[in-house]
Amino acid sequence: MSFTTDTSFVREGDMYHSEIRPGWDIMGNANGGYLMAMAARAMADASRPHPISVSAHFLSPGKPGPVSISPTIVKQGRNFSTVRASMVGPEKPIIELLGSFGELASADNVVLVDAEPPDLPAPHECVARERHSSGAAPPFIDKLDIRLHPEDALFYENRPSGRPLMRGWIKMVDDEPIDAFGLLLVADVFPPTIFNADLPRAWVPTLEMTSHVRGLPEPGWLRCQFSTRFVTGGFLEEDGVVWDASGKLVVQSRQLALMPRT
């Protein structure tokens, strides 16, 4: 099935019913960006068409199966709607979200960007993120074509670069267009930056994640960079910047995560 289908919902009054599909998980727990995209589709349907800023607090793992999403309009402004939502599974709450929704196509076209896309080799010269014999790679790599900068892919060979940095290209394997909701997924599917530091390589649980959608991407490869500057107090941050094929900034993200758990 497509990403759009796998994040779809059925509306019954003010409640939205969806299903966490298998294959979007990490060790059986659904990817956080995938969960945010599912919830954001319902939040947009209840308000305005595009997520502008979405913050999620992760309460418990999302297992494959049915979920309910209950968007509530906090404020309906002239150009933006503020929406709160809960995603609840059969047994417990999964995530709590707060977001601003609007119409990206009508955004002001004044541009001042003091940054450039990361300098990357062509996609065919980068390293494909493939499933390894250990089976450690998450299942969603079968749905996404991720190509890492050769310097940042050394952790595959147990030779981390020493810099908590991940750069590369991404698109859907079947060339399904990546929409505003797909950008929420893209912001959370690269290998954790900490895998390139001299630290334990294991599951990195996310406490909170915020993504700012800055524009609708043009078709083609997305160019991505994720970095970490501070590892302290048992936490780390991961900052992401994603550019489309035309060189336009399309999404920024920051997540607060716990140090890797073995």
Q: Tell me: the pLDDT tens digits for 166-182?
A: 999 999 999 999 999 99
Alpha-carbon distance 112 to 24, whole Å? 36
Structural domains counted in the chain:
2
Mean pLDDT of 31-57: 98
More confident residue, 111 or 46: 46
Show the tokens assigned to 177.
């267009």
Question: Are residues 53 and 144 located together in one domain of the fold?
Answer: no
Show the tokens assigned to 97.
């979200």
Question: Are residues 223 and 260 located together in one domain of the fold?
Answer: yes
Question: Are residues 125 and 89 located together in one domain of the fold?
Answer: no
Alpha-carbon distance 127 to 109, whole Å? 35
Does residue 108 lie within any of the structural domains? no
Quote the radius of gyration of the chain (alpha carbons, Å): 18
Residue 230: pLDDT over 80 = yes
Q: Which helix (H) or strand (E) holds 4?
A: helix 3-6
- Please tell me the total number of residues recorded for the chain in this structure: 262
Show the tokens assigned to 209.
């994640």
CB half-sphere exposure, 173, CA atoms < 13 A: 12
Does residue 110 lie within any of the structural domains? no
Residue 99: pLDDT over 50 = yes
Does residue 221 lie within any of the structural domains? yes
At 218, which CATH number? 2.40.160.210
Does residue 51 lie within any of the structural domains? yes
More confident residue, 12 or 141: 12
Residue 210: pLDDT over 80 = yes
Mean pLDDT of 135-153: 86
Residue 205: pLDDT over 80 = yes
Question: Are residues 46 and 82 located together in one domain of the fold?
Answer: yes
Q: Which percentage of the chain shows pLDDT scores above 70?
A: 95
With cut-offs at 50, 70 and 90, classify the pLDDT of residue 201.
Answer: confident
Question: Are residues 72 and 142 located together in one domain of the fold?
Answer: no
- Per-residue pLDDT tens over the stretch 102-137: 999 765 566 777 888 999 999 999 999 765 444 467
* 50: helix, strand or coil: strand
Mean pLDDT of 226-240: 95
pTM here? Answer: 0.94
Residue 200: the pLDDT is: 72
- The stretches of the chain forming alpha helices (DSSP H) are 3-6, 32-45, 180-186
Look at residues 54, 76, 103 and tell me which one is the last residue of a structural domain. Answer: 103
Question: Are residues 89 and 126 located together in one domain of the fold?
Answer: no
Average pLDDT, the chain: 92
Q: Which domain holds residue 89?
A: 1-103
Cβ count near 141 (within 10 Å): 17
Look at residues 45, 77, 103 and tell me which one is the last residue of a structural domain. Answer: 103
Give the CA angle between residues 126, 132, 133 to the nearest 5°: 150
Question: Are residues 155 and 87 located together in one domain of the fold?
Answer: no
Q: Are 164 and 152 in contact (CB under 8 A)?
A: no
